[in-house]
């Protein structure tokens, strides 16, 4: 039984880490090491905290909320550019990257408080 829990924890941790990494990298306009370090570093800190505190379920809710925020921002940007500006989609700004990290961390804290 303990082996099943270890395998589950390893798989869940891997999935959450990949989801956080892809979500954080989605808004980086130029893959500069300084800017990509913000979502990747903060995501890894949250993963390590969730492993230590045994709150992987709360982290799962936070990752889902992060991807929902990415979807909303992407759709809003596409609609704005298609109907209002009629120009190419602008790359994301560093503020968007920090905003995604805030959504992830805030979602994790909110899920832990439940």
Question: In the prediction, which pLDDT does 32 show?
Answer: 72
pLDDT for 112 equals 84
Average pLDDT of span 6-23: 91
What dihedral angle (degrees, nearest 10) is formed by the CA atoms of 104, 105, 111, 114?
-160
Show the domain range for 107.
2-113
User: What is the pTM (predicted TM-score) of this model?
Assistant: 0.79
pLDDT (0 to 100) of residue 86: 59
Q: Residues of 18-39 as b/e, b for ≥16 C-beta within 10 angstroms?
A: ebbeebbebbbeeeeeebbebb
Write the CB contacts of 29 (distance below 8 Å, at least 6 apart in sequence). Answer: 35, 91, 92, 93
The tally of domains found in the chain comes to 1
pLDDT, tens digit (0-9, with 9 covering 90-100), for 61-113:
999 999 998 888 888 877 777 777 655 555 666 777 778 888 888 888 888 88
State the SS3 of 30-71.
Answer: CCCHHHHHHHHHHHHHHHHHHHHHCCHHHHHHHHHHHHHHHH
| Mean pLDDT computed over 9-36 | 83
């Amino acid at each position: 039984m303990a082996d099943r829990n270890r395998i589950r924890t390893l798989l869940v941790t891997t999935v959450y880490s990949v989801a956080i990494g892809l979500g954080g990298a989605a808004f980086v306009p130029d893959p500069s090491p300084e800017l990509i370090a913000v979502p990747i570093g903060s995501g890894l800190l949250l993963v390590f905290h969730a492993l230590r505190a045994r709150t992987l379920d709360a982290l799962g809710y936070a990752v889902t909320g992060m991807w929902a925020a990415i979807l909303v921002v992407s759709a809003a940007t596409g609609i704005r550019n298609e109907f209002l500006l009629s120009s190419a989609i602008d790359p994301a700004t560093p503020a968007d990257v920090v905003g995604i990290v805030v959504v992830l961390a805030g979602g994790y804290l909110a899920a832990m408080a439940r």
